[in-house]
Structure 1
Amino acid sequence: MKKIIIPFFLTAILLFSTVKAQSIKGAWRSQQPNNSTAMMIVADNYLMIASYSVLNKYFDRTEGGSFTMDGDQMTYLTEFNTDDTAKINTPVVYTIVRKDKILTLRGEDEELVWMLVDDAENVPMAGTWHITGRAKDGTGDMMEIHQTGTRKTLKILSGTRFQWAAIDPAVKGFYGTGGGTYDIKNGKYTEHIEFFSRDNYRVGTDLTFDWALKDGRWDHAGKSSKGDPIHEVWQKIQ
C-alpha cells in the first residue's frame, strides 16, 4: 500500500480549519479595585458592561457597543461610554483567550480578566433587543416605533442577567441605564434591579411583567420603575 504524505503546510491548514473560536456569549463578572463589581453581558455581537455596588447602591460607569470576531481577534466599536466619551465610535482590537470559565481580553494598553456567570446556552430570551412597539398613553393601543434617527433603547440578556441602555451614538448621547438579574416563573418575567443610573433608591426593587415570546417578538406588560403602566414589544437586533 502506497503511503500518503500530507505536506506540513497543508496539515497546518487542516488543523487550523477545525479550530473554532470559543463562544464568549453570556454573562461575565470582574472584581474592581474600588470594591465594585463589573458585569459584562455578551449576545448577538453586542456587549454591555456596568460597574456598580449593590451593597452601597452605587452606580459607577457603563459602556457598550457592537463587535466582530475574526478568529481570536475581537474588534469592538463603542457606542456609549460614561467614563470616556472620546472612545465612542473608535474601534479597539482585543485578543480573546478563554480557558474554561476564565475569559481574558488583551488589548494594546490593557488586559481584562472575567469569570463566567452563565453561558446563556439554550435560553430563548438571551440576546440583544430593541423596542419596536409601545402602547399609547391613555388608550392602550399599540403603535409601532420606527427608528428614524440614531437614538435607541437596547436591552441585553444572558441566561440570568440583563441590562438596558438609552443611547445615541451619533451625538455620543447617554440617557440612562439599569440592570441586574431576571427570572421567568409561572408565566411572569421579573427583573431584580441591582443598579439604576437615574435613581439609586430603586436598587433592590423588583419589576414583574406579563410576557410572551412568539415569532421573535417579546411582548411584555406591567409597570415601570415609576409605577406607570407600560406595554412594550421588543425584537432582537439584526
Structure 2
Amino acid sequence: MAINVSAQSLKGAWKSQQPNNSTAVMILADDYLMISSFSILNKYFDRTEGGTFTMKDGKLTYNREFHSADTAKINKTVTYQVDRKDSILTLRSEDEDLVWMLVDDAASVPMAGTWHITERANGDAGELVKIHQSGTRKTLKILSGTRFQWAAIDPAVKGFYGTGGGSYTIKDGKYTEKIEFFSRDNHRVGAELSFNWALKDGRWDHSGKSSKGDPIHEVWEKIK
C-alpha cells in the first residue's frame, strides 16, 4: 500500500544490500540523515555520508555535510523523488535509484533524533561543564528506534574525523550499544558498551566507561 510521504513517515532506519556484499544503513531523523556502508562479517567499514534534508511535495532535498569517500560531494544538494509502499522506500534522482527496506519505524520513539553534546564532566571532581561550541567542527549522534550512528565532522572545511554505529537497546536505566562498524578501528566491531541512561526534559544523561575504559559523563540534547 502506498503511504503518504512526509519527513515523519520516513523517520527511522532503513537498509539496503550493496553490490560489494556490504550492507548500507540509513537513519533519518526529523531533518537530518546519515548513511553508512559496512560488513559485520568481515569487520569492514566502507564509507559514510550525511547531512540535512527537507521534504516537500513528495521530494527529498538532501544537502551533504560530510562524505568519507568523496569530499567533492560535500555541500552539494541532490533531490530525490520519494516513493514508499509498505516497508519499501525508493529514492529516485537523475543519477540513481536507491531502494531501501524498513528496519524500524521511529515516529513515536523519544530517543529518535539527532543529538549533540552540550555538557561534559571535566577534571577529577567530575562536575558537568557546559561546552561552548566554537568553530564549525561538531560531533553528532543520530538514533532511530534500534540503530545509532555518530560522526565527527567539520562541514566548513569538508572534514571527516571518524564514525561508528550499530544497534542499541535501553532497559532498566541502561543504554547498551553493540558496535557494527567503526571507521578508526575495526577491532571494535562486535563489542558491547553499556552506560547509565536517563532522559529528562529533553536532556540525555549518559555516563559509564568509554571503549578505552575511561570514565565518561556527558549530557546530550537534540538539535532543534
What TM-score comes out, normalization by structure 1 length? 0.90
The match for 2:5 is: 21
Residue 21 (structure 1) shift: 2.7
CA–CA distance in 1 between the matches of 2:80 and 2:123? 45
Greater gyration radius: 1
Q: Say yes or no: does 1:73 pair with 2:22.
A: no
Contact 2:120 2:217 in 1 (8 A): yes
The match for 1:50 is: 36
How do 1:138-177 and structure 2 match up within 5 A? 138-177=124-163
Q: Say yes or no: does 1:94 pair with 2:94.
A: no
Amino acid at match of 2:216: I
Residue 79 (structure 1) shift: 0.4
Specify the SS of the correspondent of 2:187: helix
Contact 2:151 2:161 in 1 (8 A): yes
Amino acid at match of 1:150: T
Specify the SS of the correspondent of 1:109: coil
Return the match for 2:188 from 202, 212, 237. Answer: 202
Residue 53 (structure 1) shift: 0.4
Contact 1:44 1:237 in 2 (8 A): no
CA–CA distance in 2 between the matches of 1:77 and 1:116? 22
Residue 42 (structure 1) shift: 0.3
Specify the SS of the correspondent of 1:80: strand
How many matched pairs? Answer: 220
What TM-score comes out, normalization by structure 2 length? 0.96
CA–CA distance in 1 between the matches of 2:175 and 2:27? 19
Residue 20 (structure 1) shift: 4.8
Specify the SS of the correspondent of 1:170: helix
Return the match for 2:118 from 122, 129, 132. Answer: 132
Residue 185 (structure 1) shift: 1.1
CA–CA distance in 1 between the matches of 2:113 and 2:192? 21
CA–CA distance in 1 between the matches of 2:113 and 2:62? 17
The match for 2:221 is: 235
CA–CA distance in 2 between the matches of 1:21 and 1:33? 27
Off by >3 Å, runs of 4+ in structure 1: none
Q: Say yes or no: does 1:112 pair with 2:83.
A: no
Q: Say yes or no: does 1:186 pair with 2:162.
A: no
Q: Which runs of 5+ in 2 are unaligned?
A: none
Contact 1:120 1:159 in 2 (8 A): yes
Identity level (%): 75
Q: CA RMSD in A?
A: 1.1
Residue 138 (structure 1) shift: 2.6
Amino acid at match of 1:60: D
